């Protein structure tokens, strides 16, 4: 029984690993790329405009991925934040909104791509005993995980709690004085997010958004 549980846990992590790494890395690269296009060379000079996961890995974010992959109905994790210097932007407030939105938008695009891949895999069932058949189940589950993980990353990061992307977007839309006060709670942001996760409150907010988005992707795929 113990060995079976371990095998199931390893399989669950393995299925989620590629979508999670791809989602986190592309999320951060998108931030850095948009910042670079707006005139900020910081991410590029730090070697962060790369799809190589090594420069992006955050130990705490990786630990959270493993923990939620084993215990939670949805998987959460994060990469090391890409450095951005808004002083390079012609319009710092607008620039930060665009940079912050780039990450979640990238995750939503990846979710759609994984959905398309799932449709292709589902429509091409292998012949029993073929080489493809041995990896089919894993690929099938990975595509499903890719949709749900990237939707989770997208909506999670859009939550208006510092230091998530949603807080930067909200701060850019608020009047300057109110935005300054709002950003003052960023020192408590990590603890607020952990509390919301621990109580399940954040999950209650995100779950309907994820399910609704997954339904939209399913409808989109059906007409492709």
Q: What is the pLDDT of residue 1?
A: 40
Q: Give the other-Cβ count within 10 Å of 80's Cβ.
A: 16
The model's confidence at residue 3, banded by pLDDT at 50, 70 and 90, is very low
Q: Give the other-Cβ count within 10 Å of 217's Cβ.
A: 21
CA distances, 216 to each of 65, 115, 147, 213, 221 (Å): 26, 11, 11, 5, 9
> In this predicted model, what pLDDT tens digit does every residue of 129-150 receive, in sequence order?
677 777 888 899 999 999 999 9
Question: To the nearest whole percent, how much of the chain has pLDDT over 90?
Answer: 56
Q: So which residues are the catalytic ones?
A: 28
Give me the mean pLDDT over the 4-23 stretch.
81
Residue 79: helix, strand or coil by DSSP? strand
Is the per-residue pLDDT at 126 higher than 50? Answer: yes
Q: What is the Cα–Cα distance from 14 to 20, expressed in whole angstroms?
A: 10
Q: Give the other-Cβ count within 10 Å of 156's Cβ.
A: 27
Give me the mean pLDDT over the 118-130 stretch.
84
Give me the mean pLDDT over the 102-126 stretch.
94
């Amino acid at each position: 029984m113990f060995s079976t549980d371990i095998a199931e846990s390893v399989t669950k992590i393995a299925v989620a690993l590629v979508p999670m790494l791809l989602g986190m890395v592309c999320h951060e690269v998108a931030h850095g790329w948009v910042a670079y296009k707006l005139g900020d060379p910081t991410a590029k000079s730090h070697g962060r405009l790369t799809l190589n996961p090594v420069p992006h890995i955050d130990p705490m974010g990786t630990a959270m991925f493993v923990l939620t992959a084993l215990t939670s109905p949805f998987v959460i994790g994060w990469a090391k934040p890409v450095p951005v210097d808004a002083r390079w932007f012609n319009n710092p407030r607008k620039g930060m909104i665009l940079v912050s939105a780039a990450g979640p938008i990238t995750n939503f695009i990846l979710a759609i791509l994984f959905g398309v891949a799932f449709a292709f895999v589902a429509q091409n069932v292998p012949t029993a005993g073929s080489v493809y058949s041995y990896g089919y189940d894993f690929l099938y589950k990975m595509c499903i995980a890719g949709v749900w993980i990237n939707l989770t990353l997208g909506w999670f990061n859009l939550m208006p709690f510092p230091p998530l992307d949603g807080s930067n977007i909200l701060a850019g839309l608020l009047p300057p004085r109110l935005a300054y006060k709002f950003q003052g709670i960023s020192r408590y942001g990590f603890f607020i997010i952990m509390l919301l996760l621990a109580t399940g409150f954040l999950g209650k907010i995100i779950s309907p958004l994820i399910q609704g988005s997954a339904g939209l992707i399913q409808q989109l795929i059906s007409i492709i």
